């Protein structure tokens, strides 16, 4: 059948628009939600990724040395990293800019440099504050500048209390109206775990993992999450030899396969 020139033009236009509508590469919802902040500089690598059965990982830097099947998500950790040659589908913003021991960046300086971060990827995560972003002004003031932010990045260390965790996430989501990635969560930080390694029992931590993961997996706007390995105590995923702890085995086993 011979097609008229007008019909050919119309079909080509439709195909072109359809191609534009297709997602380019991996998007936030195209792989498993469960991930890990992997301390490559402490020797963690492919064996740990496989043991935890995660879909993605980050290492607080813009590059990885691993040749892994799991998706690597780069981070622009601090101001001086904003010019890093990162070009990816997703990038994480500054790490704890409100913490003097981490990125330590003022809101004005972060906003001034944000265009360099935002152009690195299709999807951009907000700076992750040290505490609940609703309990301090840093992220709220940052968002008033209307930067390109596709999802809110959250750190959470408030004990083995799943109900508290869920309430906090719901409040943060409601306040900012954007998807959430929990890129660090555990009952204790590394510093707290070093001081009180047995503060929470293994059964408390296991229950916390099961309950929070069950909720996150069924909550659409909670797009990804990553446990933080405290390296000591019951929040640790790996022992000194890089083998899974009891907590690591629980995290690796959930969510359960269907």
Q: What domains does the chain contain, in order, with CATH numbers? A: 34-253 (3.20.20.80)
Q: Which of 106, 102, 227 is nearest to 165 (CA)?
A: 227
Residue with token string 């297709």: 22
Q: Using 50, 70 and 90 to split pLDDT, how confident is the model at 78?
A: confident
Quote the crossing angle between the two packed helices 246-253 and 202-218, to the nearest 10°: 20
The strand ranges marked E within the chain are 34-37, 56-58, 71-72, 88-91, 121-124, 152-156, 180-185, 222-227
Average pLDDT of span 78-107: 87
Least confident interval from 112-116, 139-143, 165-169: 112-116
pLDDT for position 27: 57
Say which residue, 10 or 45, is predicted with more confidence. 45
Pairing of strands 180-185, 34-37: unpaired
Q: Which of 140, 152, 212 is nearest to 177 (CA)?
A: 152
Does pLDDT of 7 surpass 70? no
Q: Which of 151, 195, 153 is nearest to 58 (CA)?
A: 153
Rounded CA separation 165/172 (Å): 11
Least confident interval from 17-31, 112-126, 199-213, 235-249: 17-31
Other Cβ atoms within 10 Å of 40 Cβ, number: 17
Beta bridge partners of 91: 124
Least confident interval from 14-28, 59-73, 110-124, 229-243: 14-28
Report helix, strand or coil for 185: strand
Average pLDDT of span 14-36: 56
pLDDT for position 29: 61
- Written as six digits, the tokens of 200 are 């929470």
Say which residue, 11 or 97, is predicted with more confidence. 97
Rounded CA separation 200/183 (Å): 21
Residue with token string 């936030």: 28
Q: Among the ranges 75-89, 119-133, 215-229, which has the highest mean pLDDT value?
A: 215-229
Helix %, strand %, coil % of the chain (to 5)? 40, 15, 45
Beta bridge partners of 156: 185
């Amino acid at each position: 059948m011979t097609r008229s020139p007008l019909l050919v033009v119309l079909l080509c236009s439709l195909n072109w628009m359809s191609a534009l509508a297709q997602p380019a590469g991996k998007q936030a919802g195209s792989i498993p939600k469960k991930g890990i902040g992997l301390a490559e500089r402490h020797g963690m690598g492919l064996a740990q990724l496989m043991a935890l059965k995660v879909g993605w990982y980050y290492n607080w830097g813009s590059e990885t040395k691993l040749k892994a099947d799991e998706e690597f998500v780069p981070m622009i950790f601090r101001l001086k990293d904003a010019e890093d040659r990162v070009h990816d589908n997703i990038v994480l913003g500054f790490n704890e800019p409100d913490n003097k021991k981490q990125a330590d960046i003022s809101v004005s300086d972060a906003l001034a440099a944000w265009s360099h971060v935002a152009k690195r990827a299709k999807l951009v995560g907000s700076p992750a504050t040290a505490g609940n972003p609703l309990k301090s002004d840093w992220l709220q003031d940052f968002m008033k500048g209307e930067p390109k932010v596709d999802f809110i990045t959250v750190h959470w260390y408030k004990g083995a209390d799943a109900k508290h965790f869920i309430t906090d996430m719901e409040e943060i989501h409601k306040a900012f109206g954007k998807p959430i990635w929990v890129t660090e969560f555990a009952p204790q930080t590394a510093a707290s775990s070093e001081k009180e390694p047995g503060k929470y029992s293994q059964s408390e931590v296991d229950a916390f993992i099961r309950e929070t993961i069950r909720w996150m997996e069924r909550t659409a706007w909670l797009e990804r999450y990553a446990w933080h390995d405290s390296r000591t105590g019951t929040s640790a995923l790996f022992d000194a030899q890089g083998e899974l702890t009891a907590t690591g085995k629980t995290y690796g086993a959930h969510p359960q396969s269907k």
